[in-house]
């Protein structure tokens, strides 16, 4: 089921670590949600991660609308038929994510793939690379989407 609201980002590691946000442009007629996985389509513009494709590139997590965008309502919306009119800030680094049930301790250190906006999987299929599973936390923070810590690759993947 596709997201209809923003979700909280729970970063793994030292609080206040100095990960820089990455700017990206939103595609035409696209709505994305803060805290969801940031997928860049082969057009070069961000798309909603509810329907990932193997040709997409995972950049990190949607952090906020870029300069001049009001960040007080759910979602970041480009209601225009023109791509690239809205900038989006992408959070990079390692984050707690949900799993589709395919990840086990044997997957730690291996590539994981985008299943949907908040979920990663061990199954490549037509899913794009998300990054590397670096830890499974049996007791994740209460704000976390799940106990699967993924180090997102900024571009290209492992």
Residue that wins the pLDDT comparison between 20 and 8: 8
**Inter-residue long-range contacts of 42-48, CB under 8 Å, 24+ positions, other chains counted:** 43/83, 45/83, 45/84, 46/88, 48/2, 48/117
What are 25-37's pLDDT values in tens digits? 999 999 999 999 9
% of the chain beyond a pLDDT of 90: 84
What are 71-83's pLDDT values in tens digits? 888 999 999 999 9
Q: What pLDDT does residue 78 have?
A: 95
pLDDT of residue 157 exceeding 90, the answer is no
Pairwise CA distance, residues 77 & 28, whole Å = 9
pLDDT of residue 141 exceeding 50, the answer is yes
How much is the average pLDDT of 146-154? 90
Q: What pLDDT does residue 21 have?
A: 86
Altogether, the residues listed in the chain come to a count of 158
In order, the DSSP letters of the chain are ----S-----B-SSTT--PPPEEEEBPTTEEE-TTSEEEE-TTSSEE-TTS--TT-EEEEEEEEE-TT---SSSSEEE-SSSTTSSEEEEE-SEEEEEE-S---GGGTTSEEEE-SSSEEES--TTPPEEEEEEEE-SS--TT-S-SEEEEE-SSS--
pLDDT of residue 47 exceeding 50, the answer is yes
Q: What pLDDT does residue 72 have?
A: 87
pTM of the model: 0.92
What are 117-128's pLDDT values in tens digits? 999 999 999 999
């Amino acid at each position: 089921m596709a997201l209809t609201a923003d979700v909280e980002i729970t970063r793994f590691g030292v609080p206040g670590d100095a990960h820089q946000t990455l700017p990206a442009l939103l595609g035409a007629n696209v709505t994305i949600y803060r805290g969801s996985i940031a997928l860049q389509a082969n057009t070069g513009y961000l798309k909603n991660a509810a329907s990932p494709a193997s040709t997409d590139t995972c950049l990190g997590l949607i952090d906020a609308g870029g300069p001049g965008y009001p960040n007080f309502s759910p979602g970041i919306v480009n209601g225009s038929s023109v791509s690239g009119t809205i900038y989006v800030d992408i959070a990079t680094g390692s984050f707690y994510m949900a799993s589709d049930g395919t990840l086990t301790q044997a997957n730690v250190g291996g590539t994981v793939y985008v299943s949907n906006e908040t979920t990663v999987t061990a199954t490549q299929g037509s899913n794009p690379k998300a990054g590397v599973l670096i830890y499974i936390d049996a007791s994740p923070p209460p704000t976390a989407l799940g106990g699967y810590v993924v180090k997102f690759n900024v571009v290209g993947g492992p």
